[in-house]
């Protein structure tokens, strides 16, 4: 799934996303030929937004990425075109 941060913006509910991630994780585990790839932009760095809604989006996105990292077998970060395996 690409654009995860945009999806989180539409539904900034950590509980909802935990359930979704778990559902996809279980779906992937049911068949060895299945692979779920999550792609999201890191919006959690830089200047903290003034608007409450923007801060919530930023926080929930960071928490969601932490949840995903715990579930995933592999985590990569690409920064300025350079890939780094984190897990």
Each domain of the chain, given as residue ranges in start order, spans 4-85
What pTM value is reported for the model?
0.86
Say yes or no to pLDDT of 26 above 90.
yes
- Give residue 1's pLDDT: 87
20 confidence band (pLDDT: 50, 70, 90): very high
**Tokens standing for residue 40:** 């999201």
- Give residue 36's pLDDT: 95
Instruction: Give the count of alpha carbons within 13 A of 45, CB side only.
Output: 3
Say yes or no to pLDDT of 46 above 90.
no
Nearest 5°: phi and psi at 71?
A: -80, -30
Alpha helices (runs of H) in the chain, residue ranges in sequence order: 4-10, 14-29, 52-71
């Amino acid at each position: 799934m690409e654009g995860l941060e945009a999806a989180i913006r539409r539904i900034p509910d950590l509980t909802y996303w935990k359930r979704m991630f778990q559902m996809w994780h279980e779906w992937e585990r049911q068949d060895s030929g299945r692979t779920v790839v999550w792609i999201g932009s890191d919006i959690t760095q830089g200047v903290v937004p003034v608007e409450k809604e923007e801060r919530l989006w930023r926080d929930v996105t960071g928490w969601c990425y932490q949840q995903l990292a715990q579930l995933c077998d592999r985590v990569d970060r690409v920064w300025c075109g350079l890939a780094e395996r984190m897990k």
